[in-house]
Amino acid sequence: MRYFVLADPHSYYSIMIKALQEKGFDENDDNHKIILCGDAFDRGTQSLEMFEFIKKMQKKDKLIYIRGNHEDLLDNLLCTMDPKYHDLHNGTVNTICQFSEMTLNEALDNFQYACMKTIKKGIKKYLNDSTIDYYETNNYIFVHGYVTLDDDWKKGSWSEAIWLNGVSQFLSEKRIFNKTIVCGHYHCNWYRDRNLNEEEKWKDFSPQEVINENNEKIIAIDACTAFSKQINVLIIDD
Residue-wise pLDDT tens digits, 14-44: 999 999 999 999 999 999 999 999 999 999 9
Condensed to tens digits (0 to 9), the pLDDT of residues 55-67 reads: 999 999 999 999 9
- For the whole model, what pTM was predicted? 0.95
CATH code (residue 154): 3.60.21.10
Find the mean pLDDT for residues 170-178.
93
Find the mean pLDDT for residues 202-206.
81
Report the candidate in 52, 66, 40, 97 with the shortest Cα–Cα distance to residue 231. 40
Q: Answer yes or no: are the C-beta atoms of 223 and 19 closer than 8 Å.
A: no
Q: Does some domain include residue 118? A: no
* Spatial distance between the Cα atoms of 30 and 26, rounded to a whole number of angstroms: 9
Q: Answer yes or no: are the C-beta atoms of 37 and 6 closer than 8 Å.
A: yes
pLDDT band at 77 (very low <50, low <70, confident <90, very high): very high
Task: Flag whether pLDDT at 195 surpasses 80.
Answer: no
Report the candidate in 1, 8, 2 with the shortest Cα–Cα distance to residue 143. 8
The boundaries of the domain holding residue 140 are: 1-68+131-238
Q: Does some domain include residue 183? A: yes
Q: Does some domain include residue 83? A: no
Condensed to tens digits (0 to 9), the pLDDT of residues 98-121 reads: 999 999 999 999 999 999 999 999
Indicate the number of domains in the chain: 1
Point out which residues pair with 5 in neighbouring strands.
Answer: 35, 234
* Spatial distance between the Cα atoms of 137 and 142, rounded to a whole number of angstroms: 8
Task: Flag whether pLDDT at 129 surpasses 60.
Answer: yes
Report the candidate in 121, 144, 222, 135 with the shortest Cα–Cα distance to residue 179. 135
Residue positions counted in the chain: 238
Q: Does some domain include residue 92? A: no
